[in-house]
Structure 1
Amino acid sequence: MRSSSSSKQAADNSRGIKSHILTLHQRLYHALNLGTRCCDDKGQKWHYSDIEIQRLVVRSVDAFLDSISAESLQHQVVKESVGDIVGAVGSILASKREATMRLASDVAVKIVRMIPSSMLQPHFSNLIHPLSSLLSFRELRVAISCASALNLILSNLTSKREKKVWEILKTTNVVGDLVENVKGYSTENKATEYFQEMASLLSKILWRWPPSRFHVWTDKKLFSILDTVKLNPDCSIKIAVMQLFSALALCGNGTNKLLEDGEGVVKIMVDSLDSSNPYSVQIEGLRLAQCLMTSEQGCSKIIKLSCEPIVKAIITLMSKWSLDAGKLAKDQMSILVEACRLALITHWEGDHHFYFWKAGVDRVLLRLIIGNSDTTQQSLHSLSLQEQIIKLEEVFDTDVLLPLRPYVWDILGCLTANCMEDFFPKMHGNETVFNVLVVCACMAFVDSILTSRQISHGNACHSSESEPASRAVLMMIYSPSKYISSKARFILSEVLALKGKDYVGYLLDSLKAASSGNKFGIPSNFRLVISLTSLACYSALPKYQKHVIQHGGINILSSFISWWFDNPVHLNRSSVAPHVQSHFSGRTCCWPSSEDWEGEDMLLLFGLVALAELINAEDRCGIFQNQIELRAAFIRDLQEICINNSYSGPRWYAAYILRHLGLYGFPSKFGREFRELLTDNEHSDVELIIKNQEPVRVHGVILLVRCPSLLPPEELLKEKVFDSSYKQDSDSCNRLITKVRLSAHVDCQSLTKLLEYIYSGSFEAGEDLVKKLKILAKHCNLQSLVHLLCGSNPKWGTPFPSFDFTSALEPAGRNFSYESFFHYSFWVFVCRVRLRDFICVFLA
């Protein structure tokens, strides 16, 4: 029973509450005190042995909740009652007495709906356990109410309590019960609401807790049932099925299972994107598509199944919007955001890029930037570039569509980064539209520098579109498309000239401040990202390039990179571009690790991009002049990036800068050790014969893995067209020496350097030799080396060349002697190298 002192305290706390609520509160506690209360580390619990008392308690709770308003929820009397209410209802649910279950489960739903989540969080466990154990209750109304209450609880669950809740769900076998309930829906002709609540709850659990997914995607009968249920025309059923598919698709294995019969899943997804559907259906279709294509592998599978329909649906949803009294409806904004998120599949290479351009994606993006004014778009076509810039400034700051800007810039950047060299916008539409879009991006680029300066002066302003706009201009400038690259450079120069501002000094000062050891924070990181991105763009503009160099840009950037190497600042893009965080960020599992081009090293990457452009423009002989030790240290840093960095972007640009310093190729971890094999004639098994030159002895297994073009075709080997001879080695093993005659155009010096690359990954050479090597590398189909020798900027997203020889362990199918003797000798050598490396690391 409650003491008199606690009653007095409650009376003091009750001041300001309506007398009707106080009366119901007194009745509630009169009913509660008919039972026994106990407290432990899990919260407060009540025990009632009599059914009539249980009914009285539940009705008292129900009446008390009905009397509460949003205002009265803030009173202390109500707040202090929450724990007792939850404990009592939870205890009654746990008793599983049929006479009270329906009323108690309905009241549980009311509790979760009415009482704020912040007040309920400490007491959730008292509800979750009994609710979970009732999901398979024989009375469907009770099971539905319990599922509904759990749906509401999990929707508001904080990440802090996820672990504790998951332990409860495992104990009560919730996933297993829900799977059986979903499977029983179609066979037992249960209500639509039953399936909706069960499937929705199951999808929420799959969403939050990856370990729960295995039990679901391995259930063949469940997938068979869902294949039938997904054909149901009821919108609520469609939504529930797509939510379940979306949660399963967060698992790589789940996606593979869904796409075994890909046409069915893709069809329901594409059909849901039709603009005739309710917004709720379209939203779930968009989210399902995002989950299925969250990785490059998933995107590739979907694109192969239904590329054009998906792209058309995305473009349609991004186009169908209108302003009412200058405002955009909330539903329309939600659809636009989700459609733009899905359009970020342009991040991956594939045929969908062609269809995006064909569908007029540039017109759609421009409309999202400057609004719904067709007059404005038409008037821009007849204006000069300077007049366009002035005109666009009038409409550029439209607030209505600002939340979409980050997505627009990312989509534009991804599209231009993945273009072919001969891409030309006029091939798919109006060239002027694309040019105006570039003007808008360049204007946003300049604004991003202004924003970063405001931060440096203590202003808390942080424009969400600053980083995406800067990145989009960077990607356009370094686009493989010659048209896009040249157009972006020209327009950015004009925009900067019209603005009349010189930011080079400010940008370089930001880097100097960072290199001096200033502490970093989110604002500082944001300023650094903008500074480095902007410098990479400035450095590509002839008019500003010299200015950057004259201000010591090369030394400042190289010092920053060396400083970063000693003090690496790993930065997730989401910290400076929050829009990249999706509903399922960090929730995926079982996907093969995909190639991340920049990862957490975006500061290093952008610094390398800017430096590479400056070194390319500057007389390389003047770099580190009379600074031999500094040059050697910088080369070591770049080689270290190539060897040990986790991401391809920094590795590619480090190799690109090394090229300008006379070192070509892609340094590898065991390059020096493998280079030594070139002089190991004892274990060689192939002779490359050059006209009027001494034969070059090499190892067939290495050529087979790294450059099979230097070996004769397998069928010719079998026909013994090529000369062969036997040689007895020291171990009395017969070893076949295969002789390969090379073209008369191949010279010994070029071949030696090429072999050095094949074995070690890199080599040092002068300009004259590089010209010859371009031709030889092209004939040998070494595309990455050709790209590097030609001095072309690395294409965004291109994987860094691998020098992994483990594939040589697999059966080669070749008729070489290394399949017997050399295979063994070669891998003894490799094991020795790796053991030595392991010992060095261990001792360190």
Structure 2
Amino acid sequence: MRSAAKQGGGGRGGGATESNSRHIQTLHRRLLEALKLGHRCYDDKEAKWQCTDIEIQRHVLRSIASFLTCISGDNLKHPLVKDSVADMLGALVWILQQRSEAVLGLAGNVVVKLIRVMPNSILQSYLLELVHPLSSLLSSLQLEVSISCATALGMIFSNLIVKREKRVWEMLVEAEIVSHLTNNLREFSCGTMPIEYFQEMASLLSIILHQWPASRYSVWNDVELMEALQLMLVNSDFPVKATILKLYSGIALCAHGSKKLLEEEEALLQLIVLCMGRSYPPSSRIEAFRLARYLATNEQGCSKMMNISGEPLVEAIIAGLSGRTLHLQKLSHDQMSLLVEACRLALIIRWPGKHHKYFWKQGIDKVLLDLLLENNHNGPSQHFSSLDEQISRAQDILNANFLIVLRPYVWEILGWLATYCSEDCNLRMHGHENCINILITCACLSFANSIRQAPRVCQADAVDTSCGESALRAVFLMIYSSCKYIASKTKVILSEILRPTGKEYLKQLLLILNITSSRDSFVLADTVQGAIKMVALTCYSALPQYQSLIVKRGAIKILMAFIRQYLSNNEHTGRLSLTPHLHNFSERRCCWVHEDWEGDNILSFYCLRSLAELLHSASVANALDTFDGEVDSTKSQFVKMLQEICTGTSAPGLKWYAAFVLSYFGYYGFPSKLGNRVGKVLGENQYADIQFILTGGQSVDAHGVIIAIQCPSLFPPEKLPPNEKAYDISSASNDLRNQGEDLHKGICLSSHVDKQSLAKLLEFVYLGYLQANEEIARRLKLLAKHCSLQPLVTMLGRRRPKWGKPFPSYDLSLALTPTGHSFSYGLLLDF
């Protein structure tokens, strides 16, 4: 049949194919004839094309261009195409290296055409040969040449495989390409060059900044360049603005570069918000969202942005999230990219601050619901007659699978909204009730679906699994939200959804965890699955109807075993590794400090969180007795391990919950290495320079410098300014220094203070924590409150730590101020 097709043409398609093949052969023959006019020089057994004749060079370039013109998708696999690459590149490299002005412009254009036409798989092994000659021409006086070279290099770097990046960077450093590009951009700002020149140079520099972190310092530290870019950003049109924003994004990938950009403050942020607007093309909007996200990578950057331009920025985010066309079933690539970037930027909601108020004000709940609805014309704003009807409607929404790629972002944003929502927030009064109810229901349904699928999940379901983790996380954050409405609603809805099969799944979950923890050496093989199991158990622990079953099935012992194992293995699994769908790992950030409150041992955090809830639950009054009965022989080891978490370098969240669990063992406070050292002088008279006198005439000696720093409220009120707060005594320095001699004579305490309570309070002041039984803890709570020791009050009252709150540190640095000098300084020399 094939031969017949050839003979008869095989129809119009066959004839066209044969004609194309003949055309390629003709142009290829002409190319070979042109190349033969030059000669080959053998160097290290490698043949290299050479020719110094300008006319022959021009003829070769035109022959190459003609041959490339005939190549398209239909004939890219033609044998002659692949066979010609080495010859064409050899000629192009020689011509570029000769730097003959008469042909450089044509040569640059042909190189660009070659890279555009040829598949990356064919070119990849030859691209390194072009980097050096192209780099050396970036500062050519012929603008056409420098522009085409910048374009070609940008295409090469964008298609570079990872294993060649190191070698290319070495070549760029040798050629000083970053310096050439910054010089070119500075020259453009004070010259009359075409705008295309600026765009290609800035675009190439942006690619380099995104790909090689080592390139960033010399750019953001160039004051003249940064000023020129800022001026151009203000006065340029849409395409140039997008180019500069992309360049800024490359700078902002570096923490120091981001800080430098934020020094521009209001002017830059106003332009970013402006470029996010709907009147701008998608390219500008996408780059503006991306840059804003980089600038808000940490809490400090986010806070600064909110202080400067908070409400307009949130309005722009809401507009970006609300930008899809109502009747459109399928979004364009640009629309989807814009939605994803808007969702990613909306994750600034993971930081506390006044922007939460702006998000609620702009109707973030309605916007999130619209992202779940296939037809956002008729969102479920009505009040449902029953919970069953509400659950049914939510299930219909999820079953539509609309914009499924955005669903993890919806859960993430919802969870963080709940985390920082105030305790007394009245969602009903502000019209958020119906949307929040259906969002909670959708999240709880996704929670249930994820835990049902967990035992039979396979590798192919990895994306669905990580998306399910976001839904579980949202439910976890809502259940433990400080907002009473959200927390109570979530518990009611989740309980109803779990009612048919929830207990059976819990038994299965505990059985799997028990079997796993019984092994001599164990881990949960799949980290995402491990997180799902631990988050599920933590959520179950908040539902009263399951708490007794959880304790009876040995959950406390299981959780302790997992905590010990994860910590002994020095596990480093942060939340980032559980949510690859939320992050672009090609974004090579540098100089940023990891700031997640729960830290890089997320599974230990979830275990501690679940354990804390079981111990905290009032409905399981015998939880601690069960705890003692199961682990009596290892109790002291577990306490030691929790104290080591507090004194080590773990994240604040892990430390807080270690301290929280310690309170159920009778240890209240915040262990630290310095506190353990300072605590050794508790009760010693050496260097003791103040005396507390109780009503019955008993006295207790103490060291004034420690009391002044750690608990200044123990000093007489008349010696301190009104409303003096603990840990902040700088304003009292002069008074304390003047009254130093009086304090040596003794301080009379109230009749409400007994010696045992004072001793325990001083134990906390010196060590940072204290050990006491339940009765003493109750008495001490009032004294700690009067002494303004709020962190201790939190622990004595066993109140859950507030998300994002820094872990209290043991800091004696104020002892080096005049306040400390008014007391005996010799004590500090021993530390």
Name the counterpart of 1:403. 405
Query: Counterpart amino acid of 1:196?
Result: Q
SS at match of 2:225: helix
Q: 2-side partners of 1:417 and 1:484: how far apart?
A: 10
Name the counterpart of 1:836. none
Q: 2-side partners of 1:521 and 1:279: how far apart?
A: 46
Equivalent in 231, 235, 245 of residue 242 of structure 1: 245
Equivalent in 334, 337, 344 of residue 334 of structure 1: 337
Q: Would the aligned equivalents of 2:381 and 2:435 in 1 still touch at CA under 8 Å?
A: no
Distance 1:147 1:662, change over 3 A: same
Name the counterpart of 1:382. 384
The percent of aligned pairs where both chains have the same amino acid is: 43
Name the counterpart of 1:78. 81
Compute the displacement of 1:524 (Å).
2.0
Name the counterpart of 2:489. 487
Between 183-192 and 454-463, the greater mean CA deviation after superposition: 454-463
Q: 2-side partners of 1:38 and 1:755: how far apart?
A: 86
Name the counterpart of 1:158. 161
Query: Counterpart amino acid of 2:821?
Result: F
Compute the displacement of 1:492 (Å).
0.9
SS at match of 1:377: coil
Q: Would the aligned equivalents of 2:563 and 2:608 in 1 still touch at CA under 8 Å?
A: yes
Query: Counterpart amino acid of 1:227?
Result: Q
Q: Would the aligned equivalents of 1:687 and 1:695 in 2 still touch at CA under 8 Å?
A: yes
Equivalent in 746, 764, 773 of residue 757 of structure 1: 764
Q: TM-score, normalised by structure 1?
A: 0.89
SS at match of 1:588: coil
Name the counterpart of 1:137. 140
1:707-743, Cα deviation, whole Å (9 max, x unpaired)? 34445437777457986549xxxxxxxxx94754444
Between 64-73 and 405-414, the greater mean CA deviation after superposition: 64-73
Q: 1-side partners of 2:806 and 2:199: how far apart?
A: 44
Q: Would the aligned equivalents of 1:512 and 1:560 in 2 still touch at CA under 8 Å?
A: no
Compute the displacement of 1:267 (Å).
0.9
Q: 1-side partners of 2:77 and 2:222: how far apart?
A: 47
Q: 2-side partners of 1:478 and 1:494: how far apart?
A: 18
Q: 2-side partners of 1:110 and 1:590: how far apart?
A: 38
Q: 1-side partners of 2:130 and 2:737: how far apart?
A: 81
Distance 1:237 1:461, change over 3 A: closer
1:468-505, Cα deviation, whole Å (9 max, x unpaired)? 00000001111122222222112111111156663112
Compute the displacement of 1:778 (Å).
2.5
Correspondence 1:463-478 to 2 at 5 A: 463-478=465-480
Runs of 5+ consecutive residues of structure 1 not aligned to the other structure = 1-13, 727-735, 831-844
RMSD: 2.8
Query: Counterpart amino acid of 2:597?
Result: W
Q: 2-side partners of 1:573 and 1:462: how far apart?
A: 16
Name the counterpart of 1:685. 689
Query: Counterpart amino acid of 1:609?
Result: R
Equivalent in 562, 581, 605 of residue 583 of structure 2: 581
Between 743-752 and 128-137, the greater mean CA deviation after superposition: 743-752
1:279-305, Cα deviation, whole Å (9 max, x unpaired)? 111111101111111111111111110
Name the counterpart of 1:108. 111
Compute the displacement of 1:759 (Å).
2.0
Q: Would the aligned equivalents of 2:465 and 2:528 in 1 still touch at CA under 8 Å?
A: no
Compute the displacement of 1:235 (Å).
0.9
Q: Would the aligned equivalents of 2:213 and 2:590 in 1 still touch at CA under 8 Å?
A: yes
Correspondence 1:638-649 to 2 at 5 A: 638-649=642-653
Correspondence 1:321-470 to 2 at 5 A: 321-324=324-327, 326-379=329-382, 381-455=383-457, 462-470=464-472
SS at match of 1:683: coil
Query: Counterpart amino acid of 1:813?
Result: P
Compute the displacement of 1:360 (Å).
0.9
Residue 667 of structure 2 is aligned to residue 663 of structure 1:
yes
Distance 1:627 1:448, change over 3 A: closer
Distance 1:60 1:394, change over 3 A: same
Query: Counterpart amino acid of 1:419?
Result: C
Equivalent in 225, 228, 251 of residue 225 of structure 1: 228
Q: 2-side partners of 1:163 and 1:670: how far apart?
A: 44
Q: Would the aligned equivalents of 2:95 and 2:107 in 1 still touch at CA under 8 Å?
A: yes
SS at match of 1:763: strand
Compute the displacement of 1:655 (Å).
1.3
Q: Would the aligned equivalents of 1:689 and 1:739 in 2 still touch at CA under 8 Å?
A: yes
Q: Would the aligned equivalents of 1:479 and 1:795 in 2 still touch at CA under 8 Å?
A: no
Query: Counterpart amino acid of 1:769?
Result: I
Q: 1-side partners of 2:461 and 2:413: how far apart?
A: 29
Residue 799 of structure 2 is aligned to residue 798 of structure 1:
no
Q: Would the aligned equivalents of 1:522 and 1:576 in 2 still touch at CA under 8 Å?
A: no
Distance 1:77 1:444, change over 3 A: same
Q: Would the aligned equivalents of 1:642 and 1:667 in 2 still touch at CA under 8 Å?
A: yes
Q: 2-side partners of 1:738 and 1:404: how far apart?
A: 69
Equivalent in 623, 633, 636 of residue 629 of structure 1: 633
Name the counterpart of 1:814. 819
1:512-545, Cα deviation, whole Å (9 max, x unpaired)? 3432559999972222111100000000000111
Distance 1:716 1:28, change over 3 A: closer
Q: Would the aligned equivalents of 2:522 and 2:565 in 1 still touch at CA under 8 Å?
A: no
Distance 1:210 1:702, change over 3 A: farther
Query: Counterpart amino acid of 2:762?
Result: L
Name the counterpart of 1:840. none
Name the counterpart of 2:795. 788
Residue 94 of structure 2 is aligned to residue 91 of structure 1:
yes
SS at match of 1:425: coil
Query: Counterpart amino acid of 2:610?
Result: A
1:781-800, Cα deviation, whole Å (9 max, x unpaired)? 33322222221222222222
Distance 1:611 1:724, change over 3 A: closer
Residue 782 of structure 2 is aligned to residue 778 of structure 1:
no
1:318-351, Cα deviation, whole Å (9 max, x unpaired)? 1121254632232221111110100000111111
Q: 2-side partners of 1:522 and 1:196: how far apart?
A: 50
Residue 180 of structure 2 is aligned to residue 177 of structure 1:
yes
Name the counterpart of 2:508. 506
Q: Would the aligned equivalents of 2:296 and 2:302 in 1 still touch at CA under 8 Å?
A: yes
Name the counterpart of 2:562. 560
Distance 1:96 1:674, change over 3 A: same
Correspondence 1:692-731 to 2 at 5 A: 692-711=696-715, 712-713=719-720, 718=734, 724-725=740-741
Between 548-557 and 521-530, the greater mean CA deviation after superposition: 521-530
Name the counterpart of 1:605. 605
Q: Would the aligned equivalents of 1:608 and 1:654 in 2 still touch at CA under 8 Å?
A: yes
Q: Would the aligned equivalents of 1:476 and 1:485 in 2 still touch at CA under 8 Å?
A: yes
Distance 1:344 1:626, change over 3 A: closer
Name the counterpart of 2:9. none
Name the counterpart of 1:303. 306
1:672-696, Cα deviation, whole Å (9 max, x unpaired)? 3321111332123333444335443
Q: Would the aligned equivalents of 1:151 and 1:200 in 2 still touch at CA under 8 Å?
A: yes
Q: 2-side partners of 1:738 and 1:420: how far apart?
A: 47
Between 771-780 and 489-498, the greater mean CA deviation after superposition: 771-780
Q: How many residues align?
A: 798
Q: 2-side partners of 1:667 and 1:194: how far apart?
A: 61
Q: Would the aligned equivalents of 1:386 and 1:498 in 2 still touch at CA under 8 Å?
A: no
Name the counterpart of 2:591. 590
SS at match of 1:426: coil
Between 260-269 and 417-426, the greater mean CA deviation after superposition: 417-426
Q: TM-score, normalised by structure 2?
A: 0.90
Q: 2-side partners of 1:39 and 1:455: how far apart?
A: 58
Query: Counterpart amino acid of 2:696?
Result: N
Q: Would the aligned equivalents of 2:574 and 2:600 in 1 still touch at CA under 8 Å?
A: yes
Name the counterpart of 1:11. none
Residue 39 of structure 2 is aligned to residue 32 of structure 1:
no
Q: Would the aligned equivalents of 2:734 and 2:819 in 1 still touch at CA under 8 Å?
A: no
Query: Counterpart amino acid of 1:563?
Result: Q
